[in-house]
Structure 1
């Protein structure tokens, strides 16, 4: 009889302990869920806040850089058809891939903030950009943007002559983009939006890295004649 009582007591204790553990686990799970919900809410609040904390300088930068990048596509597309060396063709392909992606990101940034989005159309050597249904030509005055005469000069070059001219003009073009980022960062209140800051920073780092690489390539080509 005593053994039965002891067994019942042990079973009761085990059940009570299990019940308490279940309650603790439930409370912990609920707390974890609440924490995750709060973090998720903070995240989306931050995203929403960033979409309203931009400045005119941010919008101007995105609009201008889209056009600036678009001309780099015009230039880079010449490499395969102008008998560029394999190294230059690979460089041009990387520029196209990177800047196409950045153009899409900047267009989406503008779209998310209900700002006018530039539409790009490339026809051979001609770049046409529309903003609010009107031709957008202000980009032609930006630092690093090539004149149509220079683009036509590049289009007429072949082989090693093309390689040298491509590097020379693309270094100039990239330097203009770096200047645009520096100008943005020097503007009071600009680039406070996380997305704008990351986009501009990535462009700055990538273009500076490519300038160094292209300068080395150009120096080698110049030495070899």
Structure 2
């Protein structure tokens, strides 16, 4: 049997339609299998030919303003700055400093009815109490005592030397006057005393950052700069309130 081109057709294989059907089925299966195989091979080849990157990571040190960056050896690792003793003493001292501010604000409810003073005092008291908790956590996490005084000797530091009065701290006399005052007189003494107190904290922050190697710890740096900004803003508010009372 010849097809239209004069070539033997599938019907010439064996006798009857069954032979032709079997051959056709076999051809179709082989064609399908070849197609699957051909489609799979490029994917395998591409996957197998992907280069294995053995390139070491590039470590670049940014240069100072006006200077180019440096390419450092791949073995370079980052190191955290060493903690300065000045950092520890700043935190210990600031805990005590904040403590007096909280005592001052605790007097407000029983000593004045001034709504502005009450609102301001509540804000200062809450923020400084929270900051004291943070500073204690910071010290404990580093294995440091939360106070610089020796047990049983509150006026001595850890070296046994007399502790110098911290900047801005109210004297015992000033605290007694504040406790005895009421109403407008209390308001005036509170504002003047807290301005003095806040200015002392600004001095402590400046002393910290003026100490070589101090203030490099990220958490301490953020806390000190935030405290500086906050207390400057509160000083401006209290100065305005104090002027209105004169």
Structure 1 residue aligned with 2:212, among 172, 188, 191? Answer: 188
CA apart distance, 1:64: 1.0
Larger Rg: 2
* Equivalent residue number for residue 192 of structure 2: 168
* Equivalent residue number for residue 211 of structure 1: 235
State how 1:17-28 maps to structure 2 within 5 Å. none
CA apart distance, 1:12: 4.6
RMSD: 2.9
CA apart distance, 1:4: 4.2
* Equivalent residue number for residue 156 of structure 1: 180
CA apart distance, 1:161: 2.3
* Equivalent residue number for residue 221 of structure 1: 245
CA apart distance, 1:21: 10
Structure 2 residue aligned with 1:77, among 101, 106, 113? Answer: 106
Unmatched runs of 5 consecutive residues or more in structure 1: 28-44, 119-129
Shifted more, 155-164 versus 175-184: the winner is 155-164
1:88–1:163 Cα contact (<8 Å) kept:
yes
CA distance in 2, matches of 1:173, 1:184: 17
CA apart distance, 1:177: 0.3
Deviations 1:55-104 (A, max 9, x none): 22112211111101000010010111112412211111111111112111
CA distance in 2, matches of 1:22, 1:132: 69
Q: Larger helix proportion, structure 1 or 2?
A: 1
CA distance in 1, matches of 2:127, 2:242: 21
TM-score by length of 1: 0.71
* Equivalent residue number for residue 131 of structure 1: 149
CA apart distance, 1:5: 4.4
CA apart distance, 1:218: 1.7
Deviations 1:185-205 (A, max 9, x none): 111111122222222112111
Relative distance call for 1:13 and 1:184 in structure 2 (3 A) is farther
1:117–1:132 Cα contact (<8 Å) kept:
no
* Equivalent residue number for residue 127 of structure 2: 98
Shifted more, 65-74 versus 206-215: the winner is 206-215
Relative distance call for 1:167 and 1:84 in structure 2 (3 A) is farther
Deviations 1:190-223 (A, max 9, x none): 112222222211211111111111112222333x
Structure 1 SS opposite 2:146:
coil
Deviations 1:34-65 (A, max 9, x none): xxxxxxxxxxx86xx45xx1122112211111
- RCO comparison, higher one (Cα < 8 Å, 6+): 1
1:145–1:173 Cα contact (<8 Å) kept:
yes
Relative distance call for 1:135 and 1:95 in structure 2 (3 A) is farther
Query: Is 1:59–2:77 an aligned residue pair?
Result: no
* Equivalent residue number for residue 68 of structure 1: 97
